[in-house]
Amino acid sequence: MQQVFTKAMARNIFLGGAGFFLVIYLALTYDTWQRIPIRDHADRITPAVARGKYLFDTNDCMGCHTVNGEGAYFAPELGNVYKRRGPDFIKAWILSQPTGVAGRRQMPNFHFTNDQIDDLVAYMQWLSNIDTNNWPPNIQG
């Protein structure tokens, strides 16, 4: 057995390892891209969902809330709020803001119409059906 570790041996180990992990990376990337259409349910985007997403973005809801763990951590997670609370609670909550409870964070009243609130609820329902691999790990976000 050779006792000297040469530059050629080090290069071969590096190139072999780099090649091996590149193949693993490409295989996992391919697998991920194959699963995206199955998991994102983009085919279920209705005009109401699109309008709700537009309202969500133009009113900067992610400035306070998170969606599937992304966004600000000031207010509750909205990716699963439809499953946690239901459509009636969401509508009532949006309409009753701000609550005026002292010492609590207050959501502003955006003066949405009933149709706009229905669109937001449709968007929240669509969000709740995304397969997120159980992320965020706790139900409250």
Domain of residue 105, residue span = 42-141
DSSP 60: T
Q: Which residues contact 53 (CB under 8 A, 6 or more apart)?
A: 123
Q: Are residues 48 and 112 in the same domain?
A: yes
Residue 36 shares a structural domain with residue 19? yes
What is the SS3 assignment for 17?
helix
Q: Are residues 117 and 91 in the same domain?
A: yes
One-character DSSP codes across 62-81: GGT-EETTEE-SSS-B-TTH
Same domain (yes/no): 15, 46: no
Q: What is the CATH number of the domain that holds 66?
A: 1.10.760.10
Per-residue tens of pLDDT for the chain, all 141 residues: 567 889 999 999 999 999 999 999 999 999 999 988 877 777 889 999 999 999 999 999 999 999 988 899 898 889 889 999 999 999 999 999 888 888 888 899 999 999 999 999 999 999 988 888 777 776 765
Total number of domains constituting the chain: 2
Check if the beta carbon of residue 61 is closer than 8 Å to that of residue 84.
Answer: no
This prediction has a pTM of: 0.75
